[in-house]
Amino acid sequence: ELAFCRISTTMTRNATRLLGPIMPRVAASAVGRTLAVGQLYGRPWRLPPESLVEDAQLMAKAPGFDGARDHGLPWTYRDGIAADIPITIAWGTHDWLLIPRQGRRAQRLVPQARMVWLQGCGHLPMWDDPPLVTRLLLEGSARP
């Protein structure tokens, strides 16, 4: 799964560089948006085309991409770390980058965490269901 995630994110970044000149045409149709970013969004056809083009340009040029990918992927939870901090694990049911099986594993590894399955959301649920994500953040930060 770690190798899949590393390869997948690298391929996505390489695709943004390769497709850069034609990304406005790809993003112009719901089918193009779905094919281009369906791995990251549960409802990619809802994305505004100009947002997809801008996100692709930013990803293609992101100077910290490789470092964030290489240092963030192998992170593992250690039992007891931040035990006094309320933890919410939110996982999109249509996340095809970090697949649902990994969410169930996270739930087992952090049993004190509140687990929330974001129905119909992908890896970037802020676009798929902004009100749900807002509510989740407010609830999680209000917990004692």
Q: What is the pLDDT of residue 52?
A: 93
Q: What is the pLDDT of residue 115?
A: 93
Contacts of 34 (CB under 8 A, 6+ apart): 44, 45
Average pLDDT over residues 59-87: 77
Q: Which token pair is 113?
A: 């965490």
> How many Å apart are CA 63 and CA 56, to the nearest integer?
14
Contacts of 77 (CB under 8 A, 6+ apart): 106, 109, 110
> How many Å apart are CA 30 and CA 47, to the nearest integer?
8
93-123 burial: b if 16+ Cβ within 10 Å, else e:
ebbebbbeeebeebeeebeeeebbebeebbb
The tens digit of pLDDT for each residue in 80-124 reads 666 677 889 999 999 988 888 888 888 888 888 899 999 999 999
Q: What is the pLDDT of residue 141?
A: 85
Nearest Cα to Cα of residue 110 among 82, 142, 139: 82
The tens digit of pLDDT for each residue in 21-60 reads 999 999 999 999 999 899 889 999 999 999 999 999 999 9
